[in-house]
Amino acid sequence: MKDTMERVSLNWSELSFDYRQTDGHIEVRFENDAWGSARVVDGDTINMSIASTCLHYGQECFEGLKAFEARDGRMLVFRPEENARRMGRTAKKIHMVSPDEPTFLSAVDEVIRINRRYLPPYGSGASLYIRPLLIGVSALIGVRPSADFLFVVFATPVGPYFKGGLKPIQLIIMEDYDRAAPHGLGDAKTGGNYAAGLRGMLAARARGFAEALYLDAKENKYIEETGASNFFGITKDGRYVTPRSPSILPSITNKSLMQVARDLGLTVEQRPIHAEELHEFVEAGAVGTAAVITPIEGVQYHDELIRFSDRSEVGPVCRKLYERLTAIQSGDYEDTHGWTHEVQR
């Protein structure tokens, strides 16, 4: 059957990673101890009480994932069930009720379907970014968990994170700022973590670095992650080394890259990484949905810029990992792990 929805006309390869209003979003409400049915809502505003717990007490969490158009026109989403599960784990930590997996997944499918005019064309390097959001909406003034929740899913087209290819960045370890504590919420995707990271991010940028790289808050010795991405390093003998810590977000991209690394014959190590160990890496990357891999050229630690390579270019291992994962995401490489989900029109 011919798809009658014509793609909007945008300069796809020039899109930035910014919000743009699309054709509609999905809302599902949890009230009286039960989830209602999903509604397609026009526009991009929501209606809630000024006393909603999300506004005062931070009962809020979210997810981020991407949809791609394949060469043959199929609409592919990357590992949405992983995001559904992570939202479930986050919600538990802040006493919220999350939608079950089928509700989450069908809302993701539906938001892509209704916004398919905004799905960037195959080969443009752009994608449709999906943002599921869960908020506490009971009107309360005392500190206690909300009984009512609103699950929202919206979509917006975003450009390739790096116009003109993979450009390495420099990070700085800012010891005066912590992102998350060991028994806190660092492994949950809740808004407060990002508010907490803004000061460190802006302080890093003021010093000319792209982002802050955080150390663990307890001992101030071990690499954790940046404000919005996991970290990995590549050793000379071909090991992919990434931190294990209770206070970092379990990145779905990192989980996928660990598998891709194994598929490419690398050894994968997930363990505490002492900051001094940065000297051992010949390549490094920051990983997440937005950019897949942002190659890291060097990290400033105390008074030293620890460089992973002399080149200002992306290293060969980062490139291989990036190319394989992006090829799987857009259906160009065989999806042997069953990571892509096709959205029916």
Ligand X SMILES: Cc1ncc(COP(=O)(O)O)c(C=O)c1O
Residue of 190, 289, 300, 330 that binds ligand X (CB under 6 A): 289
The smaller minimum CB distance to ligand X, of residues 103 and 229, is found at: 229
The smaller minimum CB distance to ligand X, of residues 138 and 230, is found at: 230
CB of 134 to ligand X, least distance (A): 15
Look at residues 54, 112, 99, 94 and name the one whose alpha carbon lies nearest to residue 189: 94
CB of 206 to ligand X, least distance (A): 21
Give catalytic status of residue 189 as yes or no: yes
| Residue 309 lies near ligand X (rule: CB under 6 A) | no
The smaller minimum CB distance to ligand X, of residues 38 and 228, is found at: 228
Cβ-proximal residues to 304 (8 Å cutoff; 6+ apart), any chain: none
| Residue 330 lies near ligand X (rule: CB under 6 A) | no
CB of 149 to ligand X, least distance (A): 21
Binding mask 227-266 for ligand X (x = CB under 6 A): -xxx------------------x-xxxx------------
Phi, psi torsion values for 201, nearest 5 degrees: -65, -45
| Residue 190 lies near ligand X (rule: CB under 6 A) | no
Cite the beta strand spans of 174-303 per DSSP E. 211-215, 223-226, 230-235, 239-242, 267-270, 281-288, 292-301
- What is the distance between the alpha carbons of residues 5 and 206, in angstroms, rounded to a whole number? 45
Which residues, numbered 59-78, are part of the site for ligand X (CB under 6 A)? 64
Point out the catalytic residue in the list 66, 163, 189, 236: 189
Look at residues 250, 236, 20 and name the one whose alpha carbon lies nearest to residue 115: 20
Percentages of the chain per state (helix, strand, coil), in multiples of 5: 25, 30, 45
CB of 295 to ligand X, least distance (A): 16
| Residue 24 lies near ligand X (rule: CB under 6 A) | no
Total of residues contacting ligand X (CB under 6 A): 12
| Residue 288 lies near ligand X (rule: CB under 6 A) | yes
What does the DSSP 8-state code read for residue 335? -
The smaller minimum CB distance to ligand X, of residues 54 and 292, is found at: 292
Length of the chain: 345
CB of 179 to ligand X, least distance (A): 7
The smaller minimum CB distance to ligand X, of residues 137 and 223, is found at: 223
The smaller minimum CB distance to ligand X, of residues 256 and 309, is found at: 256
305 SS3 class? strand
Q: What is the DSSP string of 102-160?
A: HHHHHHHHHHHHHTGGGSPPTTSS-EEEEEEEEEE--B-SSS---S-EEEEEEEEEE--
CB of 324 to ligand X, least distance (A): 16
Which residues, numbered 193-232, are part of the site for ligand X (CB under 6 A)? 225, 228-230
Look at residues 48, 49, 61, 56 and name the one whose alpha carbon lies nearest to residue 95: 61
User: Which residues participate in catalysis according to the annotation?
Assistant: 189
Residues that bind ligand X (CB under 6 A): 64, 225, 228-230, 249, 251-254, 288-289
